[in-house]
């Protein structure tokens, strides 16, 4: 196996801004993507929604892995990610900021080594650590009581 694995997707345009996405070399079902109106019809997730999803999913999986590594049996995580679009100097839309909020199933006291795992889980998220070189990504983690345990929450638009 290569030290630098490659992941490949193939997109086939169906109509207008709709693309059928094939995840090459996998058994994953194809996915239809589309731009939202007025460009597209919103028949599937847009690339921006998929980027937001990728960041949120990667951080959630990384936190789950870290929690299990430290012998925790976490309940279901609930993650919400919000992407703020901004205009650059030329007036074109760009991803300006992604806010990811992860809520744990139990209060902080229910978890072992929580402080230690919260200090390192983001470093293992391939997507977020890659995107951060071009897009600011902030992360917060809250327990079931709403107590912020990690990171800072930057209001979208701030």
pLDDT of 75 > 70? The answer is yes
- Tens of pLDDT, residue by residue over 119-140, are 999 999 999 999 988 877 889 9
With bands split at pLDDT 50, 70 and 90, how would you rate the model's confidence at 7?
confident
Helix, strand and coil content of the chain, in percent to the nearest 5, comes to: 25, 30, 40
Q: Is-above-0.95 flag for pTM?
A: no
- Tens of pLDDT, residue by residue over 41-68, are 999 999 999 999 999 999 999 999 999 9
Determine how many CB atoms are found less than 10 A away from the CB of residue 70: 13
Q: At 83, is the secondary structure helix, strand, or coil?
A: strand
């Amino acid at each position: 196996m290569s030290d630098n694995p490659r992941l490949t997707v193939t997109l086939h345009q169906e109509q207008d801004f709709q693309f059928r996405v094939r995840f090459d070399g996998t058994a994953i079902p194809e996915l239809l993507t589309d731009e939202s109106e007025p460009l597209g019809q919103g028949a599937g997730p847009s690339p921006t929604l998929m980027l937001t999803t990728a960041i949120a999913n990667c951080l959630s999986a990384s936190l789950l892995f870290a929690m299990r590594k430290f012998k925790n049996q976490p309940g279901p995580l609930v993650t919400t990610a919000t992407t703020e679009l901004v205009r650059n100097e030329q007036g074109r839309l760009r991803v300006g900021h992604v806010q990811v909020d992860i809520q744990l199933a139990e209060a902080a006291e229910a978890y072992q080594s929580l402080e230690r795992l919260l200090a390192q889980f983001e470093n293992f998220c391939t997507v977020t650590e890659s995107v951060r070189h071009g897009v600011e990504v902030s992360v917060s983690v809250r327990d079931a009581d709403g107590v912020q345990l990690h990171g800072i929450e930057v209001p979208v638009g701030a």
